[in-house]
Amino acid sequence: MRAARGRGVVVCDCAEPEGVLRLGADCRPAALQLHGGQGPAFVVELVAGLAAAGLQPAPEVWGVLSMPAEAAEARGALRDLTSVAQSLGAAGAAKVVLDSQVAGKSGGTGVPVNWQLAAELVAQCPVPVLIAGGITPGNALEALQATGAAGVDVSSGVELRPGVKSASRVRELMEVLRSPVA
């Protein structure tokens, strides 16, 4: 899977659609990833705002779901997460990112989601799902194969230290994902 021709993804934690719309207009990304628990109503308003703004090409809107890292909690949350994923898709989200939730923190924890449960969600989601949480060059293919996800979302798995990406690890990940086995 590719981001649209070299344009990036802006990760947003804005409480109001207007803030995300400004980011979309200013940055012209391939996608706006909503990482603040924004629900379907937010997505509907954002998609309508992007259409009204006439951005060409318009960035995709990606919803984010946080699956508890603890297996029993994740199993209990699966029905609700699947329902939210379906609602986000119906609201206009082009993709959904499934990340792990650890001690109330979603994203950037380096902790994988439960791939078996993620596969169940992927099978029921009307839009492509990107798997996140603990993805590294060493496990990216396994994560994709185990979950059936359309792609990966990587952050800490290619870092030298928090917030500092390693060019060699990013290159290694891209080589793995572009390999004939992928």
pLDDT score recorded for residue 103: 79
pLDDT score recorded for residue 3: 46
Query: Where is 10: in which H helix or E strand?
Result: strand 9-12
pLDDT score recorded for residue 6: 62
Give me the average pLDDT of each 10-residue run along the chain (182 residues).
64 89 92 90 95 90 92 92 95 95 76 94 95 95 96 92 92 92 62
- How far CA 76 is from CA of 12, 31, 39, 123, 167, in Å, comes to 27, 30, 20, 17, 38
Query: 135: closest CA among 165, 159, 155, 105?
Result: 155
pLDDT score recorded for residue 26: 92
Tokens (6 digits) for 155: 């952050």
**Residue 114 · residue 76 · CB < 8 Å:** no
- How far CA 54 is from CA of 19, 57, 139, in Å, comes to 17, 8, 39
Domain extent for 70:
4-178
Q: How many domains does the chain have?
A: 1
pLDDT score recorded for residue 36: 80
- φ, ψ of residue 170 to 5 degrees: the values are -65, -45
CA-only gyration radius of the chain, Å: 16
- pTM score > 0.85 for this model? yes
* CATH number of the domain within which 144 lies: 3.20.20.70
Rounded CA-CA distance 137/31 in Å is: 23
